[in-house]
Structure 1
């Protein structure tokens, strides 16, 4: 039922603003309940709500907030009862809050695997408010995104558009239904209509870009994505970067970026994006040049941090530290969140084998923002120092904080459990790592977990698959070296370390200190590798 908590707490933000306004004109108990819940004091809020409902059991607003309280307490049945009462008692004239209540009930049903009852909820809402644009759009979204009934979705969107003819978002939605049916040209008609009214409309630009690229018209698709990048749209930026995994498309993007940079030399986001593309391609010298150009246009902490990371990737640690300190200072002077820059500083120190100093930086980062990824890295630094109990706490925290924990975190926690003598817990983590890593090319999460589970033959089969699919991936080759070192096969382990180095692996301190490579200590060829750095 953890999912239920998440969904309904999200629902709180759908209704709380309305309650804040109404609380100013309503009862003492209700007013104080809203205030307590705003301050995340759920117990006090519940106490006030119970008093309010004791004297006014038909207060639909109190019932809607009580739904959120019950969700926080993981009481799904009580949440359903509360939201049903909210729908029953919220005044018919307050359609805005009613629609939000119907949306909360639909999300709650989805969270408890009762999705077959969602459509009747929306049908009831539409029947009750047949001219309400929001409820029509909500049902249309459900047809479009969940049921994939595009004709019914389009019908509801058209009804909503007839009630609100200037709604550009709904025009986009209609276009989406056609694109979802592979009717790209028809969908593009709607995106073009939207963009003729608002040339920078983010959803229309993004969806038209996707449609162009689907139709292999990358020149126009990339043009739309670069327009989105200029507006600092993160979805457009991410899609653009993902497309540049293809070398021919990368060349188109770089050409268009250079053209735009010449036409608009003061736009910082263009060279910044170019830096990200080069960095993803592993060309750190060109990435560094682009990021420095972006920094010269606008001296911000994020760009300084990226410059630091480019130096770090090539083991230019002094320059990396200089730039990350600059990022930290800019953030400090601007009262910005410093967690990213502190964790980058930790990474730079970790890669040099300065684990105690890295731990201090990761700890400072976690004090600013309790992030799962930073817990993982601090856990790795503790492992390198041999502090397994501290490392376990961090790996455990990384899993707890993640909505979808990475398979490798389960692998590392499993290994730590094994070292702490927790055999059953370790096996559970290894199996979870394998399950999380089950799609695509097998990684260390699969074959090293299988080794620890005692199924080395299967593990070797997955190592072979990994090497077939990821023969140019330096980190994958390093993981294979670890696997063979755990098998005490020094020849194969060292061979794959050599291959990893050929492909660019250069974290020499990690190669020296990683616990899974300790069987290679004293082995001549391995020691030679460490001296080459």
Structure 2
């Protein structure tokens, strides 16, 4: 065997190992009923499309995604759980609710069912029902970190931030490496003005999961907020924010909020060409959002390109007439 052949084999093995790593991470996330486990499966598929585990799971997911909820009476409990999780991951909340409610009828003491119904109701904005299900989940299984994390999200949505922080902390006491809970607690701390605590949580979440785009975005937003509140910190904090937004975009090229926030910093720093480039991307991703056209129009206006600024302001006003009050002339 030549050195070239050996090198290729080692490279192929490394790719397969990386794909398997994403596959296993997705399975763990799916079984815990949390996170974007489909993203992990997709990463594995991109690395090794022929991976047998990926093929099997993607085919299973396709079948469950197209489930007819009017015909689930004969489904067994485990099948319902798997179907419900796929529907939940695909944000088909109405069908997921039907499936999990059927599973609850089969096993009313299942912490898995209560937890997943809590997640579904949370996303449907039914916070009272979500809290009831998550409380039931914790009564059945008091050491279930995801249930504390999810209940924390419900409390945060209800503007009960201290209770949210308490639940995120409880989740972390049960699972010290729970990067989702760290990110969520960081958001709660930031909303309470506890920036140093938030910074520690976002940074640790990133250390635990280096490809976690949302944590980079949230830390960038924290740096941007601190910069806006202090002229002394403005230069250094904006630089850190740009770095984090750029990393978030590298990990998720369609992260429109990261483009938007980075564009706003560029505009404030007088780097209008870079700002306009970012706002171009925001408009490409969300062409029906008035603020995207307004922000680009403002960048054009500040760079003395009045004609293009006027066109963007008119587009923003057409989408949302309220923007007429914001036009700077």
Q: In which range does the TM-score fall when normalised by the shorter chain?
A: 0.5 to 0.7
Deviation, 1:359, is 1.8
Match for residue 351 of structure 1 among 216, 225, 231 = 225
CA offsets 1:207-239 (integer angstroms, 9 cap, x no match): 566569xxxxxx98xx89x856856xxxx7764
2:204 paired residue number: 326
2:72 paired residue number: 191
In 1, Cα distance between the equivalents of 2:217 and 2:65? 38
RMSD: 3.8
In 1, Cα distance between the equivalents of 2:143 and 2:311? 54
The TM-score with structure 1 as length reference comes to 0.41
1:44 paired residue number: none
CA contact (8 A) 2:317 2:323 kept: no
In 1, Cα distance between the equivalents of 2:203 and 2:64? 45
Question: Which consecutive unaligned segments of at least 5 residues does structure 1 have?
Answer: 1-37, 40-166, 176-186, 213-218, 438-445, 453-485, 488-533
Question: Which consecutive unaligned segments of at least 5 residues does structure 2 have?
Answer: 1-45, 48-62, 228-236
Match for residue 243 of structure 1 among 108, 116, 124 = 124
Deviation, 1:271, is 1.1
Larger RCO, structure (CA 8 Å, separation 6 or more): 2
2:303 paired residue number: 420
> Structure 1 residues 419 and 168 mapped into 2: Cα distance closer, same or farther (>3 Å)?
closer
CA contact (8 A) 2:183 2:215 kept: yes
Match for residue 392 of structure 1 among 269, 276, 279 = 276
Deviation, 1:432, is 3.0
Match for residue 307 of structure 1 among 185, 207, 210 = 185
1:447 paired residue number: 322
- Give yes or no for the alignment of 1:341 onto 2:215: yes
> Structure 1 residues 259 and 407 mapped into 2: Cα distance closer, same or farther (>3 Å)?
same
In 1, Cα distance between the equivalents of 2:137 and 2:118? 15
Deviation, 1:377, is 0.9
- Give yes or no for the alignment of 1:281 onto 2:281: no
Deviation, 1:169, is 7.6
Deviation, 1:355, is 2.1
Structure with bigger gyration radius: 1
In 1, Cα distance between the equivalents of 2:271 and 2:64? 57
CA contact (8 A) 1:430 1:450 kept: no
CA offsets 1:270-318 (integer angstroms, 9 cap, x no match): 1111111112222221111111112222222222111111111111111
The TM-score with structure 2 as length reference comes to 0.63
